[in-house]
Amino acid sequence: MTSPRYKRILLKLSGEVLMGEGGKAIDPEVTARVAAEIADVKAQGYELCIVVGGGNIFRGLAAAAQGFERATADYMGMLATVMNALAVQNALERIGVDTRVQSAIPMQSVCEPFIRRRAARHLEKGRVVIFAAGVGSPFFTTDSGAALRAAEMNCDALFKGTSVDGVYDADPKQVPTAKRYDTVSYGTVLSKNLRVMDASAVALCRDSNIPIVVFNIREHGNFAAVLRGEGVSTVVR
């Protein structure tokens, strides 16, 4: 049964959640485990969109710091998200989940271009739609892409699947006494510069009234549990 609170949700997957222990950018076993968590939730009747990042392969900002032209580096980063989208699609279809990939940068031989109404139709037919290439422009991130797609696809919530279990008042790796928020306001996230998503993505969710649920997708059963209102997460609203 779907959560009465949410019917259509957008899942943002950072590229790093597909990484293996040995630093392999896309680890097939790890990707298969993430896909199984997604399939579990899909089977409960949710309409599900996914936005994938590319940070496990290429980050424009980091590359620019090493001498690449920023815009070119960002396009390379967007291409990395398409690779991740295909990996997630492959892992989901292997376990029987019907999917479509839509890219903000058209590449017809590889996947569909982003067409909002077509994406909506896929969702209505029970397909998972995976959005690649962020917003399709340099100087943005896939966090902004996730907020934008969540808003235009009328999603009830944006779930940010990461490898940490929520939002802390300080970096838990550096401050042992750091506390995890159960809920926190958009305003606090922005004013304290808490690391949830980038500021423009948080502001877009705030303006569209879309809650952001930060949770650990690598923990087995946690995605479904968080949707049931159990499990560990932080809700930004």
- Pick the closer one to ligand UDP by CB: 140 or 159: 140
Any binding-site annotation on 7? no
Any binding-site annotation on 163? no
- Pick the closer one to ligand UDP by CB: 48 or 78: 78
| Least distance between ligand UDP and beta carbon 38 (Å) | 16
Backbone dihedral angles phi then psi of residue 157, each to the nearest 5 degrees: -160, 155
| Least distance between ligand UDP and beta carbon 162 (Å) | 9
| β-pair partners for 212 | 158, 236
Q: If residue 73 lies in a helix (H) or strand (E), which one and from where to where?
A: helix 70-94
* Contact criterion met (CB below 8 Å) for 145 and 200: no
What is the amino acid identity at position 1? Answer: M
Q: In this structure, what token pair is assigned to residue 68?
A: 């690449």
Any binding-site annotation on 33? no
**Contact positions vs ligand UDP (CB under 6 A):** 14-16, 53-55, 59-61, 73-74, 77-78, 80-81, 134-135, 137-138, 140-145
Cα separations (Å) of 85 from 17, 99, 133, 159, 209? 13, 10, 9, 17, 27
Any binding-site annotation on 187? no
Any binding-site annotation on 135? yes
| Least distance between ligand UDP and beta carbon 76 (Å) | 7
- Pick the closer one to ligand UDP by CB: 73 or 184: 73
| Least distance between ligand UDP and beta carbon 166 (Å) | 17
* Cβ-proximal residues to 117 (8 Å cutoff; 6+ apart), any chain: none
Known binding-site positions for UMP: 54, 74, 135-142
